[in-house]
Copies of this chain bind each other. A is one copy, B any other.
Amino acid sequence: MTEPDIDRDDNAGRPSSPRGARRPVEIGERLKDLIVANDLKPGDRLPGERELMARFKASKSTIREALGALQAQGLVRTRTGPGGGAFVAAIDKARAMELLGNHFVFEQPGIADIYALRKLLEPEMAASLVGRLTGEDFRRLNDTVRLYDHQPANRGEEYRQRLAELDFHAVLADLCPNRVLGFVCGFLQNLLRNLSICRRIYDKPNPALRETGLNYQVRLLAALNDKDEAAVRTIMYEHMCAAQEYMETCEAELRGDFLRLR
């Protein structure tokens, strides 16, 4: 097994930390540098703990804390056993969105903020799919729609149906050839899912919403099948507008409830 040719630590004998950075985070940074400097690709192996200990002249726990941090960021994953160790990993979408979501936990955006973006991006995203969907893709989309093509039997199913409606958009975003566009669309959906106000909106029973949402999505699938890009764009845009309008009236109602309660 050929280890990557990594420059030796050129800065080993330093007293402790350069600019107040704690040792483990410093080591984490240097490991990241090491990954990009050596052009390591996902699957490539990092030096083992013992060697890192030697290289950075740090104890096992310190190395471990640094490695743990990289793992939490999804940059590496570790395996035990011989030939095991830390491996570079491509950070998956779900993890990236989770990390990103942390930024909006405390200062939550409003419905209008999110839909301002969705109205611009979702139509574009859907349009980019025209003529690129396979039979398998259509099957996947139809399977998702089937989850909410009927009246929900109870509150639990109602809630699941709402999430499935978002999943429909997530599947589309996954298929988007422009990875950045797909990611941002997925992120906005994720943001909606996690918005506390949305959680309460989704909790309210609402037969009309399901009906109209379903309608848009069936028409969208038809337009995609016809490879009618203009129609795809229009339908998705109208869908977003309708959804925003509904969500905003709900938001206002809930705020009203909230005010009455105090």
Residues of A within 8 A of B (CB): 24-25, 28, 36, 41-42, 61, 64-66, 68-75, 90-91, 93, 96, 99-100, 102-107, 109, 112-114, 116-117, 120-121, 124, 178-181, 183-184, 188, 191
Contacts and interface: CB of A to CB of B under 8 A. Distances in A.
A64 B64 CA distance: 10
Q: Which 5 A-B pairs have the closest CB atoms?
A: A69-B72, A96-B103, A65-B68, A113-B178, A61-B61
B72 A116 contact: no
Q: Is the interface of A mostly helix, strand, loop or mixed?
A: helix
A36 B74 contact: no
B25 A71 contact: yes
Contact of A74 (B102, B116, B124): B102
A178 B212 CA distance: 28
Contacts of A100: 96, 99-100
A93 to B, nearest CB: 7
A100 B25 CA distance: 18
Nearest to A68: B65
Contacts of A41: 106
A114 B68 contact: no
Nearest to A128: B116
B121 A181 contact: no
Contact of A179 (B71, B73, B109): B109
Nearest to A106: B90
Contacts of A66: 68
A214 B12 CA distance: 46
B102 A73 contact: yes
A124 B68 CA distance: 40
A104 to B, nearest CB: 7
